[in-house]
Structure 1
Amino acid sequence: MPSSLRGRIILVTGASRGIGRAAALALAAEGATVVGVARTLAAMDGLQDAAKAVGGDLFAAAVDMADAPRIHELADLVGTRYGRLDGLFGNAGLLGPKAPIGEMSGRDWDYAISVNLTANWHLLHEFDPLLRRSDAGRALFVTSGVAWKRHAGWTPYAATKAGLEAMVGVYANEVADTPVRANLISPGPIRTELRVEAWPDEDPATVPTPEELAPAIVMLLSPGFTENGVIYDYREHRVTRHQPPA
């Protein structure tokens, strides 16, 4: 049976480790050509060979998500090299400091906003034309229940995830009459470095691995997934929609 993503061009940010790396390899295993993005090429050492070993291909690009001009250059590069983009997985992100608002530095706040929210705006802004050139462009971003649980001391992460959900929802409405679809995935607890940073007392062996999550990401980036403006809850294996207040 031919792979479901054979010939698809899919960009993955934060591809050097964790969810991004697992997603990149799962997409490659389905035949996709993956544009893997991380802050440095060294961080993705061996990833291209691993992608080829599972039947796909990977082009590595070094881009700091806080550097808007580099995101613009990346879009130009993808447009020149491939002419379109079939999938965008905005995965790169950081926890930010866990501290009360009154004790947090403005520099920490600004950096968290730039990586977790503004960078994803730049990704959508720059890659929107290339997604629209696809016969079934798919944009997928990572959110968290923290966006509504709002734990004390989690301001940067909670605020940026809530903002991301709003932004992706707006973009989904903007592309509703096109072949593009935009959604979010809420992974829940996953065995990543960010999870260890957030919950240092948790036993990592008690939560799923990024590799267990990866098939859901493949599904959501596939042409056959036609839902738009939804959040896929990995733990519940269902989609949800935010309802406007009554």
Structure 2
Amino acid sequence: MSMHQRRNGKPRTDDMYNNLESGRRSAPSSGRGMSSHETNANIMENQNNDRISELSDQVSRLKGLTIDIGNEVRDQNRLLDNMGDGFTSVGDMLSGSLARIGTMLESGGAKHMCTLPTNIAKELAPSLIAMCIFLSTYSTYDVMGVGIAKGKYKYGEKKYEDLLAQMPEEVYLAQRAQTNQVEQMTAFVFGSLSCAFFVNGIVAGAMSLIWVVLRRGYASAYRKAVGVPVSQIGLAKYTIAAYLMSNGMVMATAVHAVRSFISDN
């Protein structure tokens, strides 16, 4: 083989080598490409994963909501049980009270329907005694109770904005008990005096005294309920019976007043 042929043959060998190397480099790049079908499959898989994650979050929220509903149902059942016990005790107490009132009426304390009392002071005296008891205990226990609770937490040394930021539970309960007493006082005073004047002084005095005892029990239970849920304080046995007493006196007065008005005409 001549030198000229060797020179001509070498370039052909180099070209073959270069073509082989370029083929090796280009082969992997063609293997890394993805078809449109594979791309769509990956997109759908990612979307499914997102939907599964969202569904899992919703299931977790529903589970928490179900637990909260179950707890609320148990609390409501407990409250209804307490109210049932309160109604039972109130019914027993009212039965005894009505029996005692009936005994007083039979003893000669009642006056005829549609007539005014001949001795107004005597008729009003029992109700006024009950009112004096309530007002004196209100100022002693309810009003001073708020002051004692505030003094315990040194309210006099705090700024106004600090007082609004966080009120101790003991102070809040004392204030709420006092406020509720004031809220119920109007119906009590009117019902007691009007019932004594139009219906019967002894009956009004007895019902007023029962009301005072119930309201004292209510306020005391409220002030002592620090850290106790409202549903477990047992206020229903006081409030329901007190409402029956005050509303009973008001309604008795209304019935007697209507009958008096009709009889005069």
**Higher relative helix content:** 2
Q: Report the TM-score when normalising by structure 1.
A: 0.23
Q: Report the TM-score when normalising by structure 2.
A: 0.22
**Higher relative strand content:** 1
Considering only CA atoms, is the larger Rg found in Structure 1 or Structure 2? 2
